[in-house]
Amino acid sequence: MLKFISWNVNGLRAVTGKGIFPEVFKDLDADFFCLQETKLQEGQIDLSFEGYESYWNYAEKKGYSGTCIFTRHKPLCVKLGIDNEEFDNEGRVITLTYPDFHLVTVYTPNAKEDLSRLSYREKWEDAFLTHLKKLEETAPVIFCGDLNVAHREIDLKNPKPNRGKAGFTDEERAKFNTLLSSGFTDTFRYFYPDTEGAYSWWSYRYNARKNNAGWRIDYFVTSSALDDKLLGAKIHSDIFGSDHCPVELSVDLKVN
């Protein structure tokens, strides 16, 4: 069995400086620990864990975006980005390749409150799906991260007033439908198809987390070929330190 964790830490230096990240990392004890929104440049943090290797993708813009994967298992190869110049300067994607699967962590662009980046976001979705399908030519894919979309109405506390807003536009939800219909599985919904009140992000405003007025926008999505290998999915809503909480997936796979 392999255990995967994904967490948008919303600034790795901040959550590490508070002592939270090392403690959470140790307690969750995962084979793979994927991070989004590290907000780092190379050399800005000295962070390592015994028995793990780490791989980083930094945004050109300082203090922005960024991804990282800590792993106990050395990959066959590591790829940063998706081979697309329009999208590869913000540190949003890392792909690790193993004999039996590819692991991808992703921080999907936000459409912005005024939706000024929605068209960019839609083009990104197409390019990212192309990346995933190319990977699938050699092995199934496990990908995780902050996808910045609540797929269904049960994936956020207040769907009606939020419809059409960033993260819950018809366009973003349609792209997620396209992803799933292309042969991928939303693993949390695989196990909990109708569970309500399960969220991974809460605004810092209006006591949203205290009132559980959240959104489920952090995911593990897998190639449908792995459906019979899925063992369990969790949302660790009891873990604080960011406006997101970690999400988890267990899969019946080994790393040869």
Active site amino acids: 107, 146
Composition of the chain by helix, strand, coil, percent to 5: 25, 25, 50
Q: How many CB atoms lie within 10 A of CB 26?
A: 9
The H-or-E segment that residue 250 falls in is: strand 247-251
The secondary structure of 67-113 as a DSSP string is EEEEESS--SEEEES-S-TTTTTS--EEEEE-SS-EEEEEEPPP--T
CA distances from 19 to 101, 137, 195, 233 (A): 33, 41, 32, 26
Helix (H, G, I), strand (E, B) or coil at 222: strand
Residue 32 is encoded by which pair of tokens?
Answer: 């793979």
What are the distances in angstroms from CA 44 to CA 39, 55, 66, 118? 10, 14, 12, 31
The three-point CA angle 106-107-110 to 5° equals 145
Other Cβ atoms closer than 10 A to 230? 19
132 token code pair = 């995933």
Task: Name residue 55's beta-bridge partners.
Answer: 69
